[in-house]
Structures are given as C-alpha cells and as structure tokens.
Structure 1
Amino acid sequence: MSEKFTLYGFNNLTKSLSFNIYDVCYAKSQREQKDYIAYIDQQYNSERLTKLLVDVTEMIGATVLNISSQDYEPQGSSVTILIADESKVPMGDTTVAHLDKSHITVHTYPEYHPDTCLATFRVDIDVATCGEITPLSTLDYLIGAFDSDIITMDYRVRGFTRDVSGQKLFMDHRITSIQDYIDQNTMRRYDAVDINVYEANIFHTKMLIKEIDLQNYLFNSDVYELPPKLRLEIMDNLRREMIEIFSGRNIY
C-alpha cells in the first residue's frame, strides 16, 4: 500500500481473490491421457499444494491456524487453510475455527477430451482475508508455481471500515486493474483482458498464452516423431481448446 489510513477500531474490509489456471496437454492415446492425469495428480497432490498455500500465507503476513487436506480417487485434491492476521493469533487452542474469517483453499480438476486427445488440468485457488491483508501481492508467485496456458482472476473488496472521523472507507489500497500486481515480463507472455466494475470494487482479468511451443504440450512424445500434417492438427486443436476456455463458451 502506498499510504496508510488511520482507522477507528478494526478494519472490516473483506478481500477475496479467486485465481484459476488451466494447463492443456496432448496425449495421443487413451492410455497416455490416463497416464497424464495420473502424472498431474501426483505432481500436484495435497502435500505439495499445502506447501504452496503455506507459502502464500507467509507472503501476505498471516498465520496458519488450521490445515485440512484431502486427495481423491480417481484424481484430484483439495486443501483448506484457516488463517489469521499476526496480531490476532490465539494464545490458546480453543474456538480457533471462529477466530477469523480469513482462509485459503485450493482444488484441482484433471480431465481429458474424449475426441481430440487433449487433457486439461485446472487449479482453483481462493484467498479470502479480512482487514489490512490483501492477497494481490501473491500473484507472481502463484503464476510461477504453475505452467499456465489460461489464467482467470477475480478480486473483490466487500464491506467498509471507518477512519477516526467516522468517514466510511470502501477501499484501503489503490487498484485500477489486477494486472497492476503482475510482473510486466509475465504480462508480455500473455494476451490479457480486463472487466472491472469500479463502483462495486470488482476486478476481473483473464490471460491467454501467446506462443505455443508444441513440444511443451506433448506427453511422452517427441515433436519430430510426428508428421507435419499431424503437428498442424494438434496445434489447431490446442489453440481452439485454449480460446474456448479463455472465452468461456463453445465457439467451434
């Protein structure tokens, strides 16, 4: 924050960040699709995701109160962490669940397309904080933690707090776009679109990778083993899949 406000009592603003990524891969057979899903499921199991969320908690200056994690069959995992501002850490271990409204969750959704040999891995991360803590500073870390083809982000500030004169404050930091909080070197790799409702303190940004290096999207295959016509077909299917996910609608 570039400036701090002198507040009366507790900062009651609630800040919510929803961070979603999609990773698309080509697996030429049903067996390879299942192997890819299994590989992703192992790479992003609940243990690794827990470490990622603990890192995010430390980055925003909060404290972990409670962790709940679960891996699922046939695939997928979830982690939920209850967090609190440093100044509100309990001295004992009672009523921890009711101490604070701040939390971080992550869920994974591996799946594959039955016709185009494409497999998609989706991760949803939600960070909800109450008070001065804002989760926007973690975006570069979250983007770097995943190999993301499409990224969608939503940020909203709810409620209000007051300064010492009683004036209501509906926002306690400067923001014109979520993109303001992402490194410019990262932004140059993506096409990005904003949909912002400033009157309601609602900010939405979605990003689509610009360049596709086909080798990076092949699972257990070498690009030079594929005939040129098949390469073009795979590239076309990859781009179509990404555009539809980015647009949020079936286009083709």
Structure 2
Amino acid sequence: MENKIRLYGFNNLTKVLSFNIYDICYAKTAREQKDYVAYIDEQYNSERLTNILVNLTDMIGAKILNIAKQDYEPQGASVTILISEESKLPSGEIQLAHLDKSHVTVHTYPEYHPESCLATFRVDIEVGTCGEITPLSTLNYLIQSFDSDIITMDYRIRGFTRDVDGKKLFMDHKIASIQEYIMPEILRRYDAIDINVYEANLFHTKMMVKELDLQDYLFKTDVYELPPTKRLEIINSLRREMIEIFSGRNIF
C-alpha cells in the first residue's frame, strides 16, 4: 500500500470478498444434460479447486494452516482453507493463535433445468482477510480460472482499527467500485452495474457477458448441425436464462 497509515497495534479490519459465477450450457437431451453435469463435476472436482485456492492464497501472501476438501454425491464439491500470515505450531496441550488473515472457501453447484435444455454450473467463492491486504487483488485470477457468463461480487469491510492517535479507522484504502480492480480487457467483455452502500462500506457489482459464441454453449453438438432458426432459438433461450440470473428474478 502506498502512504501506509500508521496504526496503533494490529490492523483489525476484516475484508470479505464473495464471488459467485454462473456458466450456462445448452444440452439438447436429458441424457446430455446429465453428461454435462458429470463432465463439469469432474473438471472442477475438489482437487482442482484446491489447486486454485492454493494459488490464490499465495497471491495474497498468506500461509495455509489447514485444508478441508470434499466431493459430493450426486454432484458438487467444497474446499475450505484456513489461512494466516505465519504458520502456527502447537505448544503444549493448549494452542492459541491470532489469525491476521482468515479463510478461503469454494463450493460448486452443477444443475440442469428439468423441463428445458439448459444446464448451469455455479461456483461460490469467499475470500476473507484481516489487515491491510485486500482480497480484491485476486479478482482477475478468479474470473480467468472459470468460464463466467454471469458474475456477482460482494465486498464488505467490517470492524475498525485505530491510528497512533487513537482515532477509529473504518476503511484503510480508497474504493469507489469493485470494477476498479478488474482488468479493462475483462470488463470490455461484460455489461456491469454497481449497487454500493458507501456508508456501510458495502460494494456490489454484477456482470453479464455481452457477446455469445453459440459453439461455446453447445455440449456434444456442432453449431453447423443446427439450422439457422434453431440457432436463434437456442441463443434466445441462453440470453433469457442469463438475464434472469443477472436480474435475480423470474422475468420470462
């Protein structure tokens, strides 16, 4: 951080980034929908998710204390990593540790619509830190680690710390929007809106991909196998699904 604030003691500000992505696919039969879910479930199993979170942990300069991971039946996976700035070792029968960083978690939710040809893969990631490091520095890495049609992000700063004169500080860095931390080349691919509550140090951004390349959304189907009218029908169906997820309500 430039021009660091002089603090009295430890920086007690807690910063939490919640990152939620949706990847949508068209699978023309119920069998293909189930195959897509199985494919996604294997591609993003707990082992791969762990590797992503370990890399993320290195990016924010944290040390891993513990990793818990689990693959679920019939689908889905979870990983939780407890992190700290320094490794803590047990001492005697009692162990006390002050975590100056917190946790990283990820959960996946592959699913498909029972009456349409659409399947959705949702990933929830939460990065919590304590101190001067902001988890927003990991955003570009997270976006590029997944195929993201819709992205919703929440960033919240809680608590306070004190400067050397005892004045309470409820924010230790400038931010007007989460978008400030996203690379321009990524932002150009999405429509994005903000809903921010500055008085509460609460920032929300959601993004929806602008352009659809139909082939990227077809599972086990070549776009040239489809007549033009069917292509248009599928694109409209994909876009309707994205708009509802982006809006957070049933529209169509």
Return the TM-score normalized by structure 2: 0.96
Q: For residues 193-214 of structure 1, what are the alpha-carbon distances to aligned partners after superposition, in whole Å with 9 as ceiling and x for unaligned?
A: 0001111100000000000000
Shift of 1:99: 4.0
Alignment-mate amino acid for residue 116 of structure 2: T
Match of 1:118 in 2: 118
Asked whether the 8 Å contact 1:85–1:133 carries over to 2, the reply is no
Amino acid at match of 1:64: I
Which amino acid is 1:90 matched to? K
User: 2-side partners of 1:232 and 1:6: how far apart?
Assistant: 59
User: 1:38-187 to 2 correspondence within 5 Å?
Assistant: 38-86=38-86, 89-92=87-90, 99-100=98-99, 102-187=102-187
Task: Show structure 1 runs of 5+ residues with no match.
Answer: none
Residue deviations 1:106-134, cap 9 Å, x none? 00000001222000000000011111221
Structure 2 partner of 1:240: 240
Q: Distance in 1 between matches of 2:95 and 2:219?
A: 44
Q: Deviations over 1:179-234 (max 9, x none)?
A: 00000010000000000111110000000000000000000100000111111110
- When residues 176 and 2 of structure 1 are mapped into structure 2, their CA distance, relative to the original with a 3 A threshold, is farther
Output the CA distance in 2 between the equivalents of 1:96 and 1:145.
36
What does residue 207 of structure 1 align with? 207
2:30 counterpart letter in structure 1 = Q
Letter in structure 2 aligned against 1:4: K
Alpha-carbon distance in structure 1 between the residues aligned to 2:90 and 2:24: 46
CA-to-partner distance for each residue in 1:69-114, whole Å, 9 max, x for gaps? 000000000000000124xx31447767964260010000000012
TM-score (norm 1): 0.96
Contact 2:88 2:97 in 1 (8 A): no
* SS class of match (1:176): coil
**Which 10-residue stretch deviates more, 96-105 or 224-233?**
96-105
Q: Which amino acid aligns with 2:6?
A: T
- Tell me the SS of whatever aligns to 1:102: strand
Residue identity over aligned pairs, in percent, reads 73
- How far apart are 1:68 and its partner, in Å? 0.2
Residues of 2 paired with 1:80 and 1:32: CA distance?
31
> RMSD of the TM alignment (CA)?
1.4
Letter matched to residue 9 of structure 1: G
Q: Which runs of 5+ in 2 are unaligned?
A: none
What is the rounded CA distance, in whole Å, between the counterparts of 2:210 and 2:89 in structure 1? 50
